Amino acid sequence: MMEKQKTDRKIPWYDLKSQFLRIWKKLIHLNADPHDIAFGLALGIFVGFLPIMGIQMVVAGLVCLPFKHANKPAAVAGVWITNPLTVIPIYAFIYWIGTFFYPADHIVTPGTIMSKMRAVLELEGFVEQTKGFLALGADIFLPMCIGGAVVGLIAMIPTYFITKKSIMVYRAKKSAKKAGQDAK
């Protein structure tokens, strides 16, 4: 019986569904306007698709500064679209998209890009990872930047509207439930 309990435990950082739900619950309970939360999350999603893992949270916070109505905690949460489990497929995808806009001299296959990205991500520290990314050169890094911006801009739109609508519906249901309890 003890063996079964050990195998049923979930690894918290690996359980993406639980992590997503935990972050989502925090977002909908933020004491902010639904527009502000949705706008912040959309900005964070945009930054999350840029190939700057390691400084994404700082960049998301900075991107929010010129926008009065962008919620910074929501933006920081949005960058976690790229995490240790999703970074390689997402970066391979944004590279592929980027090559449509910036035809690289030497197109790299998904297998090659994944192996090069793994090698860079295994480097210790932000400075070493940044040097590793820059060493990949224009044939990889520029298409990734362009592809990340394109995918990020596209992803911002549904993120904003779905988040805003979801928060509004949640809060309306919560208010109706509270009003029903107060009437009793």
Q: What is the pLDDT of residue 24?
A: 80
Using the structure block, give the residue that is written with the tokens 């590279």.
95
Distance of CA 29 to the CA centre of its chain: 19
Q: What is the pLDDT of residue 1?
A: 47
Q: What is the pLDDT of residue 108?
A: 67
Q: What is the pLDDT of residue 120?
A: 80
Q: What is the pLDDT of residue 107?
A: 63
Tokens of 126: 């932000």
Q: What is the pLDDT of residue 110?
A: 66
Q: What is the pLDDT of residue 114?
A: 74
List Cα–Cα distances, 99 to 93, 118, 136, in angstroms: 10, 20, 15
Q: Which residues of the chain have pLDDT under 70?
A: 1-16, 104-110, 113, 136, 138, 184
Identify the H or E element spanning 63.
helix 56-64
Say how far apart CA 144 and CA 137 lie, in whole Å. 11
Q: What is the pLDDT of residue 54?
A: 86
- For CA atoms 114, 124, 127, 55, the dihedral sign is positive
> What are the φ and ψ backbone dihedral angles of 119, each rounded to 5 degrees?
-65, -40
Q: What is the pLDDT of residue 134?
A: 74
Q: What is the pLDDT of residue 182?
A: 76
Q: Where are the domains of the chain?
A: 32-161
Say how far apart CA 44 and CA 33 lie, in whole Å. 17
pTM: 0.74
